Structure 1
């Protein structure tokens, strides 16, 4: 059976919106009366109030993605760009907010287009002016002065973050312009402006990922600033999120650390992640809701006309936002915004909803912590361009240059391995893989504004399952509790999968849980450790998974069938079950339109029917030899016809390996017939 490639999380890019395509000239109504033209004309008004109104209106209108092409056609980016340096702070803030929303709602295509139109030049100038404003005012700005330089900076940093997530050119410009020197002062504002600090920390966490140029220019001042954040004593959940993002940034910049500081930094990073994961969101969310009720009760005593329904006034809009993917949500309602990611919803929460902001921050911190650990437990090879689940029938894998290399199951350094264990990371991850608590779900389901937390809690669970998948692949079995520990994990996964039929309808959960199950079963089979799920149960899970549109889910299901079948083949009286597995794999191998899935099905067949009397009997009963001979020409032709241009070079190498092994396996079956 082939090795399972570790999942690696990259900071999510904003998904493109189909409506972003610019309309043809004759499809656009150029009358001045059109909303697009009218608002853009108002940008040139001599009145600052009118310019602010126009920017704020555009900011709101572009949240409807179908309006974006009209603005782009009328050169909105170039017309709004100069207002980033307007003489009015209010205009600067709303103009930056309008571009921020345009970049968020337009997706990656619009972000690339904005970078091509050189929007980064005024953004850089604006950020540098904000930085000078920070220097000129050492004391916190009074709340009644609206807007402030920090408000403008917050919008600009969020816009920069959007662009850098979607454009490698934007990251290059970030490096050249030394915008790191601007972000650090924003992060240092955390004692009195946590929203600005979080925006900057999110942006920095994004731009430092896989950015060797930036890592090479990092100096001691940068590392000291990050260290100060990690050591801060503020206890709010937003500060927990800030420390988590700082920890992720330190991990991204680990190559810039001296060898003498790496051990200390690693310990600080993992300690921060452990603290984030150690908070029980299931109990904290109901507690936060009780705080809301207490606050509203106190307010009613002061103002009898007020009502507790105030907490739900914006529920419909919040629920609508929750239904969108996190990657779509960087709008300008409040401050601050993850595929997706992955973003928190704090941007859309009014400042008078502190409890909801706390809950969002906690769940975002836990999701981010798990993603960082996923990457810690991920080998740098194979490359990120490789398909998510490589497979071959040999114990080796063929690299792109044709050489064989064994993917080591223990790719963690001893120091990282020990640190993760010292802070009980495996146990914390397993705990987060549980379903959200009923109490928390009840609170969120009862209050429209809080429904956004349900998706966040589910995503934390999925990230934990993915994290478990990677840890199983890279950590020694004994460190995970030996045979008893693995059996306990198997029981845990079983309880998740069979809790209800609905859980198997969620693609994200299905991908995460089947990845974890695949890794676990693979290890248990190699160690001859019995596991708690029966073949019939595993087949029922795989049947659901193979109906999924996500290729990696189908690949996981096929691999699970292969592992199950190869284990059963050693047992007496298993021929009938092997026949069921064989027929299921043959169906996918011959009918699945995706070559990756077809290749995995064939690979699983090789494992199931490789050896043993039960396997031979089952192979004869399902006419395996005839079936494979029949599909061989079509599979080979499909590789030649569709492979190049559709699949990556690495995928084609693995598929070619399957093709060769198919020929060999047919020869093996033919030799059995001659006995």
Structure 2
């Protein structure tokens, strides 16, 4: 919004001091900038990083680590070259400086987001980080020499910060993954993973990182050694019962699944069984009872401690700030807010695994042992469901996913249907082996159980204890992942294996109870996206097999009405598809014309008014399905003047495709499908005109 250019000469105005107004403005701006620089903590702290005194460098690094947890402070550090100033300190002569500096970079990457991570990689932070990790892993104490608890800074502590920083960078940057492959950092992660009997936090961090870098990484897959596979199998066979060990085994299972091509065909079956058994066990754990039990254990422990140590309330005031310990509840909740973007196959559009929330357990004070366990449990269950989501989908894009491509009966004309995955998944369905293993471990039943709303008792505890409040979002996210997982299971498994007609109707009843439990749930976008995706798949299967639906058309319309008001395109698309499926089923029943009119008017309204072409196209596609055939459909079409409405819409839709197709908003695949819908619209108008002549 620039000023309008004024071609007339304008005499400058002067202040009482004789300075022009513009000069006064420049002076004031310069003074303000100087004041901001003086007030900004970045200036002083970054200068202290250059101090010859190790204690001062440690203090500055630790302070930066704390300050950058408030995301609004990050730009001031980046503008002053914080990454390049902190980088050399990763190899500082002081262990304390190494750990706090690495922690500062870790927090910068975690709280700054993907763009900051990319910038850090461009500034070559991986060079000192790689050297640090390799040096740390060469300095681990023997297993027989456990670290003393009172020791504040340790080599393993430094390694934990370094692994978390590496994980953040690789999750956000493909360049970081390439550097990881090239520098052989898998061996360093392996050494950290093998420390799980002595240092579970370091092992979990390494497992998180390994799970991330092994996904869709063919370059790494081709060079993975037998030692890595053996170490992962060793973790899967571990028997420790803590929730952090459950999380460790879950992440190891995910890495084994990602590396399945590295196993011989004979060992693939064994690996598959071990992976599914691990995931099934994780999902079988009842958070509704475990979370209250963990909270009660915390209360008992703290009560005993306060009796024994009256001054224990201040005992943790010196917690190590480099890992962000001491973060407020508000900061914890902010850190776990993710981008919320998860596709039906659990991936983002760029193919990377969607990272919705960062595990904040390392940002908690060390005395919150039970809360760490609760976070580990929920993270493990969310991860298990995400792995199953990817198991139950093809690597080939689905032509009914408007999130990626939209839907059309003729979409195959524009898509390459080939698929190169010949391992445990076929491009069209689950392999018989995987199918059987999932059923043998009752995975569909476990997933359906997790799709229920979080336990009331667990929610009550989290609401009354502010430090546990961060678990509410995590419990809700587990439910949403379960619904997404259910959607993929429905799409990938034969209906008979899911209990036939009775089983599918039971699932429909379950989804109905979730959706109609309260009006509030229909306002949650993530829940709406997950539940409408599952409903869409379920209704499509039931319609194809002529299984009666348990939800009335009026109930489905109420869900669709709420969904079409949602800002998420994927939710609106799901709602329109549900209306299309419901309407096409009703069109075959006598006396349905009145309901078809309601559906038709709703679809026409969206096709005419929605700002997104993808949504408009889905509405038209649904109209084609609903009014394609049958006396009831013909009657309803006449009542709502469908022919004239579509004739009026046709040139507008065509013009929008031409205009918006050049703007780069829609992918080539989406534009291809939209063009198919344009052609189908012309044909459908011709069909309605034929009916009118009868």
Same fold (TM over 0.5): yes
What's 1:80 paired with?
Answer: 86
In structure 2, distance between residues paired with 1:57 and 1:375: 40
Deviation at 1:402, TM superposition (A): 10
What's 2:24 paired with?
Answer: none
Distance change (3 Å), C-alpha of 1:31 and 1:576? closer
Distance change (3 Å), C-alpha of 1:403 and 1:380? closer
1:367 equivalenced with 2:382 (yes/no): yes
In structure 2, distance between residues paired with 1:323 and 1:40: 25
Deviation at 1:139, TM superposition (A): 2.6
What's 1:12 paired with?
Answer: none
Paired residue secondary structure (1:44): coil
In structure 1, distance between residues paired with 2:296 and 2:445: 29
Distance change (3 Å), C-alpha of 1:444 and 1:339? farther
Q: Is the 8 A contact 1:131 1:182 kept in 2?
A: yes
1:456 equivalenced with 2:484 (yes/no): no
Deviation at 1:141, TM superposition (A): 2.2
1:471 equivalenced with 2:489 (yes/no): yes
Match of residue 114, structure 2, among 108, 118, 127: 108
Deviation at 1:657, TM superposition (A): 1.4
Question: How many residues get paired?
Answer: 641
What's 1:411 paired with?
Answer: 429
What's 2:55 paired with?
Answer: 49
CA displacement 1:14-58 (0-9 Å, x = unmatched): xxxxxxxxxx99996485674222111111101000001111111
1:660 equivalenced with 2:679 (yes/no): yes
What's 1:7 paired with?
Answer: none
What's 1:648 paired with?
Answer: 667
In structure 2, distance between residues paired with 1:506 and 1:553: 11
What's 2:349 paired with?
Answer: none
Q: Is the 8 A contact 2:399 2:405 kept in 1?
A: no
What's 1:11 paired with?
Answer: none
CA displacement 1:618-670 (0-9 Å, x = unmatched): 11111111111111111111112112411112111211111111111011001
For 1:212-231, list aligned pairs within 5 A: 212-231=218-237
Query: Which runs of no fewer than 5 residues in structure 2 stay unpaired?
Result: 1-28, 320-324, 341-352, 420-424
What's 1:352 paired with?
Answer: 367
TM-score, length-scaled by structure 2: 0.88
Q: Is the 8 A contact 1:625 1:670 kept in 2?
A: yes
In structure 2, distance between residues paired with 1:216 and 1:634: 52
TM-score, length-scaled by structure 1: 0.90
What's 1:490 paired with?
Answer: 508
Deviation at 1:399, TM superposition (A): 3.3
Deviation at 1:347, TM superposition (A): 1.6
1:544 equivalenced with 2:559 (yes/no): no
In structure 2, distance between residues paired with 1:326 and 1:133: 36
Distance change (3 Å), C-alpha of 1:368 and 1:392? closer
In structure 2, distance between residues paired with 1:162 and 1:470: 28
1:322 equivalenced with 2:312 (yes/no): no
Deviation at 1:298, TM superposition (A): 2.1
Match of residue 357, structure 2, among 342, 352, 374: 342
Query: Which runs of no fewer than 5 residues in structure 1 stay unpaired?
Result: 1-23, 330-337
Paired residue secondary structure (1:134): coil
In structure 2, distance between residues paired with 1:137 and 1:46: 35
Distance change (3 Å), C-alpha of 1:535 and 1:395? farther
1:427 equivalenced with 2:445 (yes/no): yes
Paired residue secondary structure (1:616): helix
Paired residue secondary structure (2:157): helix
Deviation at 1:396, TM superposition (A): 6.0
What's 2:128 paired with?
Answer: 122
In structure 2, distance between residues paired with 1:364 and 1:493: 24
Q: Is the 8 A contact 1:202 1:245 kept in 2?
A: yes
Q: Is the 8 A contact 1:140 1:192 kept in 2?
A: yes
What's 2:167 paired with?
Answer: 161
Deviation at 1:303, TM superposition (A): 4.2
1:533 equivalenced with 2:551 (yes/no): yes
Structure having greater relative contact order (Cα 8 Å, sep ≥ 6): 1
In structure 2, distance between residues paired with 1:395 and 1:646: 22
Distance change (3 Å), C-alpha of 1:384 and 1:340? farther
Match of residue 457, structure 2, among 439, 446, 449: 439
In structure 2, distance between residues paired with 1:26 and 1:482: 75
CA displacement 1:524-558 (0-9 Å, x = unmatched): 00101011100000000000001000000000000
